[in-house]
Amino acid sequence: MKSIIGIGNALTDILTVMEDESILKKYRLPVGSMNWVDSSTASTIWNEIKDRKIQIMPGGSAANTITGTAALGIRSAFIGKVGDDELGRLFKKGQEKIGISSILLHGTQSSGRSMVFITPPNAERTFANYMGAALEQEPEDLNEGFFDGYDILHLEGYLVQNHDLVRRAVEIGKKFGMTISIDLASYNVVESNYGFLHDIVENFVDIVFANESESKSFTRKAPEDALDELARVCKIAVVKIGAQGSFVKSGDEKYRIAPFPAKAVDATGAGDMFAAGFLYGYSRGLSLDVCGKIGSLVSSKVVEIIGTKMDQATWDGIKSGIAEIIEKA
């Protein structure tokens, strides 16, 4: 089986269920909104909630995908940057606990974090995010030795604001003959890095993951036509259309992948887990449609929970589901 290394923004996910909205009022966070906070607000909020009952785990798009591949049993590594602080150490420990080779460099700022508050009565989600040290990754940080022995390089689109970093990563990947995959992350990432992303995807990337709006921004086309266009420029194209499933294409081979039925409560992590499942299938050399079905299965499970942390019983269920998919194929 092949091995995988991911590069992304190391952001600790901190989830707190609140009994009321007082903390949101205190920090002027509108209910249900996504907010960027500065370093001092980030640390004040962290100190206020750290002794409560919180769920804390390594997060960020590529890190989530790598959590998934590690849980499924692929040798997995992650490169990112944190601060020299408690959250940074927790990030590393969290990754190592699930068997990830965690390559975390230290920046000068404190560790990046995504703090989410769930408030009554409707389990509304309010975010206070801080990028901190995650944004300090530099091309020179990428030591070729980190990549040695890995077959797949997975990148999150959120990195492309740092063109030099992404270019160095894909150049190393190519040099070592790795399969390079990228998740386009968000339509506004695609819009604001249009030319750069086209260059990278067309000249370096083997597997591209895009949702409907990202594929539209990249190609100016609706999902199926976007899929055709993406498959013309890379080896494998995946276009995801949320609860309606996805399309996968490689050369002339094309499939529509049905979603697995799910009682969806929170869509967070669907795309990241789709990539984990798909890349797991790819790492085992399974056919394109089977890779898609595995992605569909893993993502259908993460939408059934709040946050992205699936317990062991859920992973065990996913593994038997995967065995069934492979058997039927």
Ligand X SMILES: Nc1ncnc2c1ncn2[C@@H]1O[C@H](COP(=O)(O)OP(=O)(O)OP(=O)(O)O)[C@@H](O)[C@H]1O
Q: How far is it, in rounded angstroms, from Cα 226 to Cα 220?
A: 8
Which does residue 262 touch among Mg ion, ligand X, none (CB within 5 to 8 A, set by kind)?
ligand X
Question: Which span (6-14, 228-236, 261-269, 317-325) binds ligand X, by CB under 6 A?
Answer: 261-269
C-alpha to C-alpha distance for 280 and 259, rounded to whole angstroms: 18
Residue 292 partner contact from ligand X, Mg ion, none using kind-dependent CB cut-offs of 5 to 8 Å: none
Give the integer Cα–Cα distance in Å for 156 and 272: 9
* Strands 112-119 vs 124-130: parallel, antiparallel or unpaired: antiparallel
**Measured distance CA(314)–CA(325) in Å, rounded:** 16
- Which of residues 73, 99, 242, 317 is near ligand X by CB under 6 A? 242
CA distance linking residue 158 with residue 184, whole number of Å: 8
Give the residue, chosen from 58, 157, 173, 259, that forms a contact with ligand X under the rule CB under 6 A: 259
Q: How far is the CB of 276 from ligand X (least distance, A)?
A: 11
Q: Taking CB within 5 to 8 Å according to partner kind, which of ligand X, Mg ion, none is near residue 59?
A: none
Q: Give the footprint of Mg ion on this chain (CB under 5 A).
A: 271
Q: Is 181 in the site for ligand X (CB under 6 A)?
A: no
| Coil, strand or helix at 200 | helix
* Out of 69, 110, 162, 300, the residue judged to bind ligand X by CB under 6 A: 300
Does the protein bind ligand X through residue 306 (CB under 6 A)?
Answer: no
Residue 263's Cβ-count burial label (10 Å; 0-12, 13-18, 19+) is exposed
Considering only residues 245, 281, 307, 321, which one is a binding residue for ligand X as defined by CB under 6 A? 245
Confirm or reject binding of residue 264 to ligand X (CB under 6 A): yes
What is the C-alpha separation between 254 and 265, in angstroms, rounded?
Answer: 30
Q: Write out the DSSP string of 118-187.
A: EETTTTEEEEEEE-GGGGG--GGG--HHHHTT--EEEEEGGGGGSHHHHHHHHHHHHHTT-EEEEE---H
**Residue 275 or 310 having the CB closest to Mg ion:** 275
Per CB under 6 A, does 240 bind ligand X? yes
* Interacting span for ligand X (CB under 6 A) from 36-44, 127-135, 148-156, 263-271: 263-271
Q: How many CB atoms lie within 10 A of CB 96?
A: 12
**243 touches ligand X by CB under 6 A:** yes
Binding mask 199-238 for ligand X (x = CB under 6 A): ------------x---------------------------
Considering only the stretches 12-20, 110-118, 139-147, 239-247, report the one whose residues sit in contact with ligand X under the rule CB under 6 A: 239-247
In terms of Cα–Cα distance, which of 261, 275, 279 is closest to 308?
Answer: 275
The radius of gyration of the chain's CA atoms, rounded to the nearest angstrom, is 19
Q: Return the range that interacts with ligand X (CB under 6 A); candidates 18-26, 156-164, 216-224, 267-275.
A: 267-275
Distance between CA atoms of residues 210 and 184, nearest Å: 5
Looking at beta carbons only, is 243 or 323 nearer to Mg ion? Answer: 243
By CB atoms closer than 10 A (0-12, 13-18, 19+), residue 203 is exposed
Tell whether residue 67 is a contact of ligand X (CB under 6 A): no
Applying CB under 6 A, which residues contact ligand X? Answer: 211, 240-243, 245-246, 259-260, 262, 264, 267, 269-272, 274, 296, 299-300, 303
